Every structure is written in C-alpha cells, then in structure tokens.
Amino acid sequence: MTSASNTQLLTHATVATCASGASDAELIEDGAVLIENGEIRWVGTSVEATSEFAQCSLPTSSCSGRLLTPGLIDCHTHLVYGGDRSIEFEQRLMGKSYEEIARAGGGIVSSVQATRAASAHELMQTALHRLDALLASGVTTVEIKSGYGLDLDTEARCLTVARKLSEHRPISVATTYLGAHALPPEFTNDREGYVDFVVNQALPEIADRGLADAVDGFCEGIAFSTQEIARVFEKARALGIPIKLHAEQLSNLGGAKLAASFGALSADHLEYLDEEGVVAMAEGGTVAVLLPGAFYYLRETRKPPVTLLREHGVPIAIATDLNPGSSPVHSLIATMNMACVLFELTPNEVLRGVTVAAAQALGLRDRGQIKPGLRADLALWSTTAPVGLCYPLGHAPCQAVWFAGDLVRGQLP
C-alpha cells in the first residue's frame, strides 16, 4: 500500500461501525478507518493501525476521540414539491377544521396544484433549500418520493429534479415513484381509472425512463385499498422495481402484510401495525421505517409496536418524512431525538435506524456501515456516544462529513 492523495487514515475516533447482525452501534473505542479511492479499506483500532500501516506514511488525521459514524441515510422523504402549507397549520391553530381547510382548497390537493404549477427550476431551488437543511444532519443518502404531481409529466419532473440534486450537492439520491399517494382531482369519480393510469401508463413510462429506484403507495382509508395497492405492486414486480408502502399509519388495513408478501423493502409509519403484520414483515425481510415527525405533527397517541418489532427481529429504520403537510421536519438529528422521546427507541437502535437499517430499507448494500469495501460516506460528531446525538434538541453536532471519501463538510477537530 502506498500513500496517495486519495488515501486517508482517520485515527482516535470512537467508531460506530453499525455492523450487520448486531443489535447495537458496535463501537470501536479509539478506532481507526482507512479510506482509499472513495471506499472504506480497513477498520480497526488506532493501535492496530499504527502497526499495520507504520511503513506507509499515510495522510493521517486524528478525530480526537469523537464519534465517527456512517454518513446518515434519510430513507423516507417527500423533499421535492411546490407550494407552502404553513398557512394551513396556522389556520388549524386558529380554530379552523381540516374540513373547512380542505373545502377552501387546502390539504394535499393544494400541494398537488402548486407542484404541477412549478417549473423544474423552481422545484430544484426549493428542494436545494430543504436539502441544505438536511445536510446539516450529516446526511449522505436521501430517498425522495414523487406523489405531489400524480399526472405523468409532473411526477416525471419531480423525479428528474430529485435525481439531479446530486449534481449540486454531495448527496446520493434514491428516487421512489409514489403515484398511488392520493387520488388526483381529475379522477375524483374514477378511482379505478386512476389506478389503471398508474399501472398501465405512468409506472411503465417512469420505469422505462429509469426515473424510479422503487415504487411506493399510501394504503389507508383516505388513500388506496390493499386491492388497489396490490395491482400497483404486481406491475412493479413485473417491471422488476422494488416496492415500499405507507401502511398502518391511521388504521390497520393489513398493508404491511401485503407489502411483505411482495418482498417489500420497507413498510413505513406502522402506528397501527399488529403482530400478524410484524410476523409477515419478519418473514418478508421488510424493514419497518418509523416516522416520528408525522406522529408528532399529527398529535397521534398510538405508537408503533416497537416491542413486537424487536421481538421478531424486524430491522427498524428512522426517517424525517420531510413533507409539506404532516412532517415539515428538516433535521434527521431532531428526528432521532423524537424516535427516542416519542417511540422510546434507544440511541443505539436509532443510530442503526439511520444507517444500516435505512440502507436496507433502500436496498443499498454498499453503505450504512463502516466496514471494508463499503462507500466511505462518514460523519464525525461533537460527541463521543450515540446518545450525544439523540439527547439534546436543537444543537448542531455534525462536525465533518466525508462523501465517497472526500471531506465535503466541516473539518477535523
């Protein structure tokens, strides 16, 4: 091994490897990580590194004992959209009902209208603004769903913008087509017609243009039934696109079980998930993506079945659900705090939830852990333990970020 500008040894870090198969953050005290050509080449202790690489005179940086984690992964967002629904938030606080607001053109319909009206440039500018907030949480991979366009043009425009975000910032973007998010106004009296459109026109076209890494749906009384979602999933399977599902958020329709039967990457929300659904997810290898931001903003009281998920070994991921209506949360760090306070997950579980489990929820095997051969997406923090990320609220603990081996944010202490 020779010293090269694309090689860097990080030493004296508390390395949270989040290694596979473990139930905690798998810390290496006084750990070291060798980065080479954008990948993690070697992981061990600083003492081992000293003897292993003594002859190599590698560029070496001390992390001064601080916590080094995989770059964080926000595996469920709706980051690209038009418009602003803050006014509805204020109206509700001033006593207007959801119904009054909806009758006045508010709710998801208003986001659809504003998103359809927005140019790709406008969508890009507002998305970059939100993404910049998210990057402050040490995020190196973000999933972004469509679903505020619903028509083919707007959905394709949103997914294209999502893909292009990575040309402007150090971020990997996983895109998800969420046509089955809501019934668009032009199909108000023709549910079947809209599902036909998604299945026969939109999804094949989106797939053909390579715009979606996954297909998602919203299975709920106010959205789509399991039968309707099953049609979308069958098409996705035929096209070879992985699936995900918004399931059991407001009621238990058995969406998670359906998703698991299709081998879904993840089922998301899950407040009303029952043991049958948990077992199905365990068998299907489906990750549980919990979204405490939406739980918080909607003032929900029913929590996802964390104990059952643990008992059955279902991996738990945590995400912001960043969206204009029910979760305008721009910080994955704040979301990690909420996962502890509101869902009573432990800091170790939460760290795994935004690294290894989040990578699994996106079907990405090349990241989410600190181990040889994976991408050198790393984050360094102003703390020495996972709880230091999760306990305070409103702090800014991210000190440095490496994206595919390049230091793209902050500096070493």
Contact flag: residue 344 with a second copy (CB under 8 A): yes
Stretch that binds a second copy, among 59-67, 160-168, 251-259, 339-347 (CB under 8 A): 339-347
**Which residue, 269 or 330, has its beta carbon nearer to a second copy?**
330
Q: Which of 302, 267, 269 is nearest to 283 (CA)?
A: 267
Cα distances from 85 to residues 106, 109, 130, 244, 321, in angstroms, run 8, 11, 15, 26, 15
Residue 344 CB, nearest distance to a second copy (Å)? Answer: 6
* String marking each residue 29-68 x if it binds a second copy according to CB under 8 A: ----------------------------------------
Using CB under 8 A, which residues numbered 110 to 139 contact a second copy? 133, 136-137
The identity of residue 143, as a single letter, is E
**Segment lying near a second copy (by CB under 8 A), choices 118-126, 204-212, 240-248, 323-331:** 323-331
**Most distant CA pair in the chain: distance in Å?**
73
If the CB atoms of residues 42 and 391 are measured against a second copy, the closer one turns out to be: 391
Tokens of 85: 């629904």
Q: Are 100 and 92 in contact (CB under 8 A)?
A: no
Smallest separation, CB 250 to a second copy (Å)? 18
- Residue among 66, 181, 269, 330 that touches a second copy (CB under 8 A): 330
d(CA 362, CA 4): 33
The answer to whether 68 touches 15, Cβ cutoff 8 Å, is: yes
Asked if residue 278 lies in contact with residue 64, where contact means CB atoms within 8 angstroms, the answer is no
Minimum distance, C-beta of residue 388 to a second copy, in the bound complex (Å): 6
308 binds a second copy (CB under 8 A): no
Q: Are 233 and 259 in contact, with CB atoms under 8 Å apart?
A: yes
In angstroms, give the least distance from the CB of 127 to a second copy.
14
Question: For residue 186, how many other CB atoms are within 10 A of its CB?
Answer: 12
Residues 266-295 that bind a second copy (CB under 8 A): 293
Min separation Cβ 75 and a second copy, Å: 17
381-to-14, 114, 141, 228, 236 alpha-carbon distances in Å = 10, 38, 17, 44, 39
Q: How far is the CB of 393 from a second copy (least distance, A)?
A: 5
Judged by CB, which is closer to a second copy: 86, or 201? 86
DSSP state of 187: G
Closest-CA residue to 112 (of 182, 47, 162): 182
Site string for a second copy, 74-103 (x = CB under 8 A): ------------xx-xx--xx---------
Q: Is 346 in the site for a second copy (CB under 8 A)?
A: yes
> Quick one: angle between helices 152-168 and 120-135, nearest 10?
50
- The CB-of-307 to a second copy minimum distance in angstroms stands at 11
Distance of alpha carbon 359 from its chain centroid, rounded? 8
State which residue, 217 or 293, has the beta carbon closest to a second copy. Answer: 293
Q: How far apart are CA 208 and CA 211, in angstroms?
A: 8
Pick the closer one to a second copy by CB: 132 or 192: 132
Give me the least distance between CB of 336 and a second copy, in Å please: 11
Identify which of residues 136 and 152 has a Cβ nearer to a second copy in the complex.
Answer: 136
Closest contact distance (angstroms) between CB of 403 and a second copy is 21
Eight-state DSSP code of residue 71: P
CA distances from 36 to 4, 11, 218, 358 (A): 8, 14, 41, 24
The residues that touch a second copy, with contacts defined as CB under 8 A, are 86-87, 89-90, 93-94, 133, 136-137, 293, 296-297, 299, 320, 328-331, 333-335, 340-341, 344-347, 385, 387-388, 390-396
